[in-house]
Amino acid sequence: MAQKKITALIFDMDGLIFDSERVVQRSWNRAGEVLGIPKMGEHIYHTIGFNVVRREQYFRTAIREDFPMDRFNELTRAFFKEIVASEGLAMKPGVKELLAYAKENGYKLAVASSSRREHAVNLLTEAGVYSYFDGSVFGDMVKNAKPDPEIYRTACEVIQAVPEETVALEDAPAGVKSASGAGLRAIMIPDLVQPDEETMKDVWKKYNTLLDVLELLKEQEADNKRNMSGGKE
């Protein structure tokens, strides 16, 4: 059976829109130094895509039961802001080009990020891309974190998108599993973590950058025009 036309795109944020995972990792390392926990940044490889609740559960299991989550969050947010203020926060290649093309051609657009709403909206607004999106769902707006499919199901509801016609853009295995479980096609553009064999079962396409997704949409639009003209060039 032929796959349905893509009519909507749902974007992850950290590691997909922004080159932020490495900044987060540096912030964790600095917070770990203050708290006496060495190499704290190494834990990011196991928690990419987690919201704050699921991340706390991981820390209390992997590091220690009395892990000081509130203090850790306070420190990492401060260090993250400090790094971004001095160095800026780079966007991934193709973000604005893809958003502009998709918006111009009538695709529904949403963000589905595990980050806190306030933090995410600030970053997206400052980068000048928040207005492209028709809706958004963040980690503190859902009960279950990625890889649970709740966030993608909710995002589809918010923008009234049909899951079978929607593509999720993700950089991490947890996000890919979340999207696939919600019935979306998942495109993975790996950042810090490469997909293993199990993750690849849920990946529809694997690309290097969002510019590859832009080309995919352009091909679809060209096919649509050919079909409308009866196959004539």
Query: Mean pLDDT, the chain, as a whole number?
Result: 95
Q: Is it the case that residue 128 has pLDDT exceeding 80?
A: yes
Single-letter amino acid, residue 18: F
What is the model's pLDDT at position 49? Answer: 80
* Maximum mean pLDDT: which of 46-50, 163-167, 190-194: 163-167
pLDDT band at 2 (very low <50, low <70, confident <90, very high): low
Nearest C-alpha neighbor of 29 from the set 15, 20, 46, 42: 42
Phi and psi at residue 61, in whole multiples of 5°? Answer: -90, -45
pLDDT band at 121 (very low <50, low <70, confident <90, very high): very high
Least trusted range by pLDDT, from 24-33, 35-44, 222-231: 222-231
Q: What is the DSSP letter of 76?
A: H
Assign 185 to helix, strand or coil. strand
What is the model's pLDDT at position 171? Answer: 97
Nearest C-alpha neighbor of 83 from the set 16, 139, 29: 29
Least trusted range by pLDDT, from 80-84, 176-180, 213-217, 224-228: 224-228
**Dihedral, 86, 87, 92, 95 alpha carbons, nearest 10:** 50
What is the mean predicted confidence (pLDDT) over 13-39?
96
Question: What CA–CA distance (Å, rounded) separates 53 from 116?
Answer: 11
Q: Looking at the annotation, which residues are catalytic?
A: 12
What is the model's pLDDT at position 119? Answer: 93
For the whole model, what pTM was predicted?
Answer: 0.91
Assign 168 to helix, strand or coil. strand
**How many CB atoms lie under 10 A from the CB of residue 39?**
10
Q: Is it the case that residue 162 has pLDDT exceeding 60?
A: yes
